[in-house]
Amino acid sequence: MKLTLRQRQILWAYIFLSVSLIFFIAIRWWPTLLAFDISFRNWNVFQGSGPWVGLANYERIWEDLFKPRSAVRAAFSNTFRYVLFGVPIQLTLALCTALLLARVRVLAGFFRAAYFIPFVTSLVAVAFVWNWLYAPQGGLINQLLKMAGLPTQQFLRDTSLALPSITAVAIWRSIGFAIVIFLAGLQQIPDIYYEAAQIDGANRWQMFWRITLPLLNPVIVYLAVLQTIDFLRMFDLVQNMTQGGPLKSTTTVVLEVYNEGFSSYNMGYAAALTVILFLVILLITVIQLRVLSRRVEY
């Protein structure tokens, strides 16, 4: 049977779509389903599929959450602290910077690229550079503190400073992405709204509060969800800067999954942690979409 031109185009469209779909299923869906299955088993890395243990791994995690010095308890606590500190600060700084960059006319592309470069830089390289900047002896930040007559700090060795120090690096590294998205959102706001507000006698703060912020709501929701997920999945910076120390003060859930799965070989327990983190991310995302989303029309 001879196919028409339209039928051949449709056939090729399905062929090309099937390639990406197969890749997505093999890389995303299948590992996700496998993680759910492994979480219900006493699965060993060397022996493969283990015996079915039901909710035993989840019960163990629940018990560990209430142990004072449990690594899992520290991991969840630290992960939520990364989110609570990192996301609001990052979005606030990104919005303020985007508002300033929106007014720049000379070398605008240079400044935008300068802020965006850290986002496309390898996290391992970022961690290496910041390890040197934070170094107690010879680190640039401590050298500047000495020059200013201030005491030096053990940034990555002090349990009270390590987590804020890594959070600062995470904010610095990905703030460029948020700035670019905010700039795109600002460019979509028609100037006519500001012109009408000026005629009515509104000042800059009123225009920002009544026009800019409401119309940026979709962008804010998008970035809040995306950055929250990013902070909940923190791993690379922590692993390369502190390995979760000192005294588990910077460890995260993903790092604990790695330690349980590939250091202690408790793959069933690690998979259960992965499933719980997935459910936490899903729950927080749904809450953010429900609470933050606002429909604004002028």
- pLDDT single digits (tens) 26-36: 888 888 888 88
> Is residue 184's pLDDT more than 70?
yes
The whole-number pLDDT of residue 44 equals 72
133, part of any domain: yes
13, part of any domain: no
Give the separation between CA 209 and CA 176, rounded to whole angstroms.
Answer: 23
Residues pairing with 48 in the sheet: 44
Domain residue limits at 162: 70-292
Q: How far is CA 259 from the centre of its chain?
A: 20
pLDDT tens digits along 82-128: 999 999 999 999 999 999 998 888 888 888 889 999 999 999 999 99
The whole-number pLDDT of residue 292 equals 82
> Is residue 295's pLDDT more than 80?
no
Residues pairing with 44 in the sheet: 48
Give the separation between CA 273 and CA 80, rounded to whole angstroms.
Answer: 15
Percentage of the chain beyond pLDDT 70 is 97
Work out the average pLDDT over 49-63.
Answer: 87
Residue 249: give its domain's CATH number.
1.10.3720.10
> Is residue 8's pLDDT more than 90?
no
The whole-number pLDDT of residue 190 equals 87
50, part of any domain: no
Percentage of the chain beyond pLDDT 90 is 51
Contact status, residue 81 vs residue 74, Cβ threshold 8 Å: no
pLDDT tens digits along 239-291: 999 999 899 999 999 999 999 888 888 889 999 999 999 999 999 999 998 88
81, part of any domain: yes
> Is residue 227's pLDDT more than 90?
yes
146, part of any domain: yes
24, part of any domain: no
Contact status, residue 245 vs residue 237, Cβ threshold 8 Å: no
Count how many domains the chain has: 1
Q: Which among 241, 257, 229 has a CA at the least distance from the CA of 126?
A: 241
- In this structure, the chain runs to a length of 298
Average pLDDT, the chain: 89
Give the separation between CA 214 and CA 89, rounded to whole angstroms.
Answer: 19
Which residues are CB-contacts of 266 (< 8 A; sequence separation ≥ 6)?
260
Give the separation between CA 241 and CA 146, rounded to whole angstroms.
Answer: 23
When pLDDT is cut at 50, 70 and 90, the band that residue 1 belongs to is: low
Q: Which among 236, 268, 272, 269 has a CA at the least distance from the CA of 252?
A: 236
Which of the 8 DSSP states describes residue 295? -
48, part of any domain: no
143, part of any domain: yes
When pLDDT is cut at 50, 70 and 90, the band that residue 48 belongs to is: low
